[in-house]
Amino acid sequence: MRAVEPEVFLVARPELDYDELAAYLGEVGGESWLERLDRGDLDAQNLAEFAGRLCYRSFEPGLNPNVTRIREDQTDYLRNILSSAHGSVLEHLNFSFVLHNVSRVLTHELVRHRPGVAISQESLRFVRLAELPFWFPDWAQEDAELMKRATAVLTQLEEFQGWMAGHFGLDEDGVPFAEKKHRTSFMRRFAPEGVATGLVWTANVRTLRHTIEARTAVGAEEEIRMLFQRIGELMRAEAPALFGDYEVVDGAWVPGWRKV
């Protein structure tokens, strides 16, 4: 048994092709909007603003005869997007995270958030467990008798994994991969739900806003709550104009605007 800590790695974020944006804006007359745009690590916010302005052709006053004035400040513009619940433009902004050393308890909770996400999870049908990595919350680590018994259970399960691998001869020469897969699929049934695993989780900003709120709520499961508190911090640093409305209260991320 190996003690681990859940971790989050932000591995992909939106990237704009400003030359293509310029080509489009040249067609509709919005070049001046692009000229005043801050391109410094703000592609997510820039894409959200672009998508919103395209809907009303509001890059400049007069491009749409119905638009006589516009919000020029991006933060003000995106705040209006959030407050008016114009959340569809946020679906264009996808971020990908590696969730590392998270339990299958957490992944079973996470799959309930289906709209706007993509998931690729480590398959224990193919990945054989030579050890059982496991996370213990602080309160559990402080309980000596609990840790003694829990460690004993995990050690026994880990030893059984090793015994099965030897019993099935999985490391012998010439064992077909299909046979290894078949046996490994059976062996994973004896791994606890708390065994640490990993996945790539991609979500758009509309989904992220909802999931951060739901999974940091006081009543949320403690591991997923801790993880999405970290994701909230990452996203506030990545796109402050899109996540700066949250107030953190006892660890719960409460948005200024819901149902975006």
By CB neighbour count within 10 A (0-12 exposed, 13-18 middle, 19+ buried), where does 132 fall?
buried
pLDDT tens digits for range 159-193: 999 999 999 999 999 999 999 999 999 999 999 99
Q: 158 to each of 31, 58, 71, 130, how far by Cα in Å?
A: 62, 61, 60, 7
For residue 257, the Cα-to-chain-centroid distance in whole angstroms is 20
Average pLDDT of the segment spanning 201-226? 97
Q: What is the mean pLDDT of the chain?
A: 96
Do 117 and 232 form a contact (C-beta atoms < 8 A)? no
CA distance 255 to 232: 11
Average pLDDT of the segment spanning 69-97? 95
CA distance 131 to 138: 22
Count of other CB atoms within 10 angstroms of residue 121: 16
Average pLDDT of the segment spanning 199-204? 98
pLDDT tens digits for range 47-80: 999 999 999 999 999 999 999 999 999 999 999 9
What value, to the nearest 5°, has the Cα angle with vertex 64 and ends 48 and 86? 30
pLDDT tens digits for range 112-150: 999 999 999 999 999 999 999 999 999 999 999 999 999
In this prediction, residue 260 has a pLDDT band, given cuts at 50, 70 and 90, of confident
215 catalytic? Reply is yes
Identify the pLDDT of residue 160: 98
Catalytic entry in 215, 225, 230, 236: 215
Average pLDDT of the segment spanning 182-208? 97
Question: What is the reported pTM?
Answer: 0.94
Residue 157 predicted with pLDDT over 90: yes
